[in-house]
Amino acid sequence: MFLPVIASFIFISVSLISAGINGELSSPPNPSEGNGNVELQHVLSQLQELQSKFDVQQQENSQLQTTINQLLSNLNQLQTTALQLQTNVGQLQAVVASQNATISTLENQSTSSMQTKLDALESSQNASFRNLQTSFANIQDRVTELDDVNMELRSTLSKSQDIQHEAMTIQGNVTDFLCEHFTHSNISVTGNVTAGTAVIRGRDWTYGDQDGHDHVRGVVMDKHTPPGLKYVHWDNGLENIYRVGYAGGFDLYYYYPDVLGKFRHVICPN
């Protein structure tokens, strides 16, 4: 309220000063009366003094107007803050009213109702605990059963390993026997075969009827070949080089008619 009053006061002061200056100038001195030049100089001096005062007053008025504008801006901010505070107060009042209503509702609930709820909750917890105990007992039983199964599996694995070891021993004995007693059987020919040895197509044969046909006899030739390979001359007159261990392949069997259809899986070490 006081800001408009200050502004009015400033306006009146400026108006009065301007009126004084105009009054001084409205009746200029008559040069013909007395010493006119002296009076004129005096008037001019007063006029300059009044002008200086007017300029100072104008500067002060400008500063005062700036201050008034700042105060008005601060007043607007205070009004905005007051409105926000009023809004916050309203929200707090609503929250307090809601809390009071909740407290009133809780106070109105009977003790027996609360006790009933507590009893129901305790009963539910006891039932859950009993279920957990039952589940834990079942898990323990399953763990015991798995331990028994694990022991049986270990025992079975040990027996299987023993049987496998015995089978490998028996297979080695059979191989040694065959290689010892059937030097010229249809056992796969290895790289140390000598010239003149009778042979037939073997387990890795991939040459069609190059030998004539199956079970036709050929003879190892005395020709120089790389390791694992041998020359063979067949009864049909053809000759070629064949694998006797090269790159893991065995194209020939030893020829021995009495054991021709047996022991094709055996490969003698020497």
Element (H, E) at 241: strand 239-243
Percentages helix, strand, coil for the chain (3-state, rounded to 5) are: 65, 10, 25
pLDDT tens profile 167-226: 778 766 666 655 554 544 567 888 888 999 999 999 999 999 999 887 789 999 999 999
Predicted confidence (pLDDT) per residue in 20-65, tens digit? 444 444 444 454 455 667 888 888 888 888 889 888 988 988 898 8
Tell if the pTM clears 0.85, that is, is over it. Answer: no
Q: Which of 10-19, 199-208, 209-218, 254-263 has the highest mean pLDDT?
A: 199-208
Q: Residue 2 has what pLDDT?
A: 46
Cα 159 from Cα 228, distance rounded (Å): 40
Q: What is the pLDDT of residue 183?
A: 45
pLDDT at 72 over 90: no
d(CA 250, CA 256) in angstroms, rounded, equals 17
Kindly tell me the number of DSSP H helices and DSSP E strands found in the chain: 3, 5
For residues 115 and 103, give the distance between their C-alpha atoms in angstroms, rounded to a whole number. 18
For the segment 225-233, the average pLDDT, to the nearest whole number, is 96
Q: Are strands 198-201 and 239-243 parallel, antiparallel or unpaired?
A: unpaired
Element (H, E) at 243: strand 239-243
